Chains A and B, each alone.
Chain A
Amino acid sequence: MTRDDVRNAVIGILTDIAPDEDFDALKDEEKLRDQFDLDSMDFLDIVMELRKRYNIEVPEADYEQLVTMTSCIDYLQPLLKNQQMAS
């Protein structure tokens, strides 16, 4: 996966978690939590979806790496580089 692929993968997860939100306007440098009113239940879901779709474990200590889209990509791309997008 390229950085763009990883970004799309995260958007795919967010769209499933918050179907009423519009992620077109997402700003990569701003905190996801502030832009979309995400709470701890949502972050649990992001982590659970990453495990389900891409078989990667995000340990609790690394949850803070998922704070913005850019930090998500920085953290996830090395873990996902050998994977294809989930359909």
Chain B
Amino acid sequence: MHTTTAHVYPIDNIDTDRIIPGKYTKTLDMSALASHVLEDLDPDFAKKVQTGDILVAGNNFGCGSSREQAPIAIKAAGISVVVAKTFARIFYRNAINIGLPVIEVEKHNIQSGDSISIDLENGVVTNHTRNETYQATRMPQQMIDILNAGGLVNYLIQHGDYV
């Protein structure tokens, strides 16, 4: 299985203004969004991320606004999965809808730099650095279907309607 590096911010309530400030959201340019992602939390974040890395946070990740630019910016920066203890609901839906996997893991011991692999289908996170595995909360079937389609756009292209 493909392993990636974790970037851990063990902070609760990382809001959408910190993920991508409102002043940068009025654009359709993905690379412009990616360059500012999480800059008020960690100015070097965008530079540190290698394509495929994972982002790890605390409770209620993505609270605040409905801006889809938040998960878009994270995905465009190269993050392949976001792991948090819990997610705010609009962020959670938005991430799945744009094809950015997000999983809730209540208990884990992931530290920045750990080598991680994730089995989304079974909700299992493996920490290769510490030889540990963690169980994720199962998401509703509707969300698994949308995620498996690669996002809501592809889901609707495939099905033509909600099924």
A associates with B: no
